[in-house]
Structure 1
Amino acid sequence: MSKATLATVQGIKTSLEKEVAKGDDISSESVKDMLDQLDKCNMTMAVLTKSLIGTVVSKLKKHDDLGPPAKALVKKWKKVAKDAEANKQAKKAERRSSNNSAAAAAAAAATDDQPLANAEEWDDLLPQQKIMCQKLHKFLRTHKPALVKDGINEEAVDHLLVSRATEIEAAMTTKFKNNRAGYAEKARTLCFNLKKNAQLAEQVILGQIEADKLITMSSEEMASSEARKAREEEAKKLVDSKRLDWDQANEDKINEMCGIKGDLLKASLFTCGRCKSVKTTSTQKQTRSADEPMTVFVLCLNCGKRWKC
């Protein structure tokens, strides 16, 4: 955040507050000049939040002459908020993707928290194939207690663990023949998801998902329902942040970010002479000849005073 920009905006805000406090005697030319200065400022979300300049400019939106430039500024600042939110969501998605990749790599590399199995079926395999079978067996084995608890014979589970690990590795060798990078990437993804997604692992162990199908599934398809839901929510936030009507759909959020809250949401240009509240509403009527300006009737929502301008 530029300190110079913040200082400039805060200085203009102070001057604007003095003009707005004048009520009917507000200097339109002076305020227009200040609005032009604000339009030229390099406004950021940090400056908007720190200065709360929106709390003052929003009071000018109903003024005949000053309303259009004030509304244009607020619309411009809402776009700043929209872009800031989009960048924030994009960075979150990027960090999530990076964290998932790191977690998958860590899961595949973690082999010292429990001993690796050694089955006769693997003795004739190449060293890297045997290691892969052992890793797959290891991550499938973490779900053995749940299957035994559900009434499946423990020895039967042990037999299935070896068989499924062997089948999966064989399917990977066939699919990724002469593609070591593809084999390694699929190995990381499988190990991570078989460890984290109990439902997937149990379906694999029980043969409900065959090895040939498993190795063609994407990370999203193998993810647990909780992980898929979290990803969908992040994706929805990212899509929402790019909507053309995002500022309207997130009006309350933007107002809060810009410091426009409480009574300021109902604030108008007019200040009550009795209670000094800006919580007023106004209407215009043609009470004089057509070439004369319209008469403004104002009602204070705080104390009930009525007057006309």
Structure 2
Amino acid sequence: MNADDIIRLKKSLTKAIEGGKIETVLELMNRLKDNTPSKELLKKTEIGLIIGRQRTHPNAEVSKLAKEIVRKWRDAVSAPKINETSNGSTKSAVSESKAETAKNATPKPSPTVNGKPPKRENTQDSMSSSPPNTPSSVDSEKRERSFDRDRPPYKNTSVAARDKCVKMLYDSMAFDSSADSEIILLRATTIEKTVYDQFARQVTGQYRDKLRGLISNLRDKKNPGLRKRVVDGDLQVQDFCTMSKEDMASEERKARDNEIRQENLFKARGAGPTQAETDMFLCGKCRNRKCTYYQMQTRSADEPMTTFVTCTVCNNRWKTGYVE
């Protein structure tokens, strides 16, 4: 009897037990009793669990037959274990005899050099002397790319402050870049010279503050796009040196700032009137006209006021330059 046959009998037996059909239960259990499944089949089909539960069946015949089947299957399954134990003891005896023979055998003399045993190399020391090049060490080397590590062909300006700024600019662009060191150095020297010319070719506090801001934005790990545009030359150095902090921000930061700005506009009230309810506006989201609105002058005085509308149904908000 294979696994499919046992599974079919298991389903039929389960239905018969649930339906209270005692004769069918006894017939199916007798069929199972005549066949002794292997340990693998018992584990795969779980038929032993169904038969085991029937040992407490209210019907005496079913309970007695279930106990007989369980006893028979248990004896059949435990029999191979005895054989395995006997085989294991035999193997153990053989291995013990081999060990005894090896023990009694005459050991071979170790080779000598000039009557002295050869020296063994200390493998532990040799292994420790050359540590493996682990991935973590490789990653750290990549992260540590800087002016001092790359050593680009830089000519000093004879002004220590300017040279230091060039090195800091180089470090801020090179730490995660795969560009050639000479290209990064060219960008760094050009940025420094542009700022130096902006402040009358003098190292002043404004010069330092300007470069400090540029370096901070270039070094920002959350703004790799700005760094890449400068290194690749997509953003001209002249334009970069005149950009404001808001202009240099990442696209994600710009979107977030714009969202906050719009939020603040809707929350602002000033000295104007409070919000008024109206049905003049149609919500583009829920198509209702239950809205509140207020107006503010957000543009030049010769342009109309901006109307801020909020839908009271879905809380959708929008603004318009005129009243419908």
Q: TM-score category by the smaller chain?
A: 0.3 to 0.5
What is the TM-score with the length of structure 1 in the denominator?
0.37
What is the TM-score with the length of structure 2 in the denominator?
0.36
> Which of the pair has more CA radius of gyration?
2
Q: Which has the higher helix share?
A: 1
Larger RCO, structures 1/2 (Cα 8 Å, 6+ apart):
1
